Amino acid sequence: MKHQIAVFASGNGSNAENLIAYFKKNNFAQVGLVLTNNPNAGVIARANRLKTPVCVFSKKDFQDSNKILEVLNEYQIDWIVLAGFLLLFPENILKRYPNKIINIHPALLPKYGGKGMYGMHVHKAVIENNETETGITIHFVNEKYDDGKVIFQAKTVVESNDTPEDIAKKIHKLEYKWLPKVIEKQIKKGETL
Ligand code: GRF
C-alpha cells in the first residue's frame, strides 16, 4: 500500500498541485487528500482537476474538535505537508503525527518566520532589510509558527532591483524543485526507522 500524504493549504495551492502531480508518477506514495480552511482557496480547483479529494473545514472544527483527525484516519493518512497553510496546528493532530508533519516556509529560517510572516510579507521584509540572499526552509511542525527542526534549506540570490514579486518567483521555483524530493526522502527515511 502506498504511503498516504495529506496536504493542507489555505490559498493558491501551486505547491499542493506540484506535489499531487509528482506523486502521481510515483509508486510508493500519493497525495490522498487536500485540506483547506478557505472555501475560496485556489487549491480546491487544482485538486479537483487532478482528481484528488478535498476537505474544506472551519477554523473551529480544526482547533476545537477531533473532526480533522477523523477525516485523516478515514483516508489512512500517514504524512502531512503544509504548503501555504496559515493556521497554527493543534495539539491533538501534532500528537497523533509526531515527526510526520512538514511545512515549507519561503525564507531562510530562523530569519523571517513567525506569526504574520507569510507570502509577500516575507519577501517585502527581505528587501527592506537589504538581504543579498533568501531561500526556502522545509521543517518539521511543532506548536509554534515556523519553529520546528529544519530538514532542508536552499538559497537564491536577491538582486538589488528585485521586487517582492521577483523574489516570489525565485522562491516558487526552488519550492517546486525541492519540496517533493525532500518529502519523498523523508518518507523513505521514516520507513527504515
Ligand atoms: C509558498 O511560497 C510557501 O512557501 C508559503 O506559501 C506559499 C504558497 O504558495 N508557505 P502556493 O499556494 O503553493 O502557490
26-49 pLDDT per residue, tens: 989 999 999 999 999 999 999 999
Strands 29-36, 3-8: pairing is: parallel
What cell numbers appear for 137 in the block? 526552509
CA pair distance 178, 164, nearest whole angstrom: 21
| Confidence at residue 190, expressed as pLDDT on a 0 to 100 scale | 82
Other Cβ atoms within 10 Å of 185 Cβ, number: 12
Residues catalogued as catalytic: 105
**What is the value of pTM for the model shown?**
0.96
Centroid of ligand 1 to alpha carbon of 84 (angstroms): 4
Nearest atom within ligand 1 for CA of residue 136? 4
- Separation of CA 104 and ligand 1 centre (Å): 8
> Helices 14-24 & 164-192, crossing angle to 10 degrees?
40
Question: What is the pLDDT at residue 193?
Answer: 46
In percent, the amount of the chain with pLDDT more than 70 equals 98
Q: Which domains does the chain have, with CATH numbers?
A: 3-189 (3.40.50.170)
Q: Among the listed ranges 5-9, 55-59, 110-114, 188-192, which one has the minimum average pLDDT value?
A: 188-192
- 54: nearest Cα among 69, 70, 73, 75: 75
Q: 119-128: per-residue pLDDT in tens?
A: 999 999 999 9
* CA distance linking residue 131 with residue 15, whole number of Å: 25
Do the beta carbons of residue 191 and residue 178 sit within 8 Å? Answer: no
Query: Of the candidates 23, 73, 72, which has an alpha carbon nearest to the alpha carbon of residue 50?
Result: 23
Average pLDDT across the chain, whole number:
96
Q: Is the Cβ–Cβ distance between 7 and 83 less than 8 Å?
A: yes
Tell which residue, 169, 162, 158, 165, has the closest CA to residue 111.
158
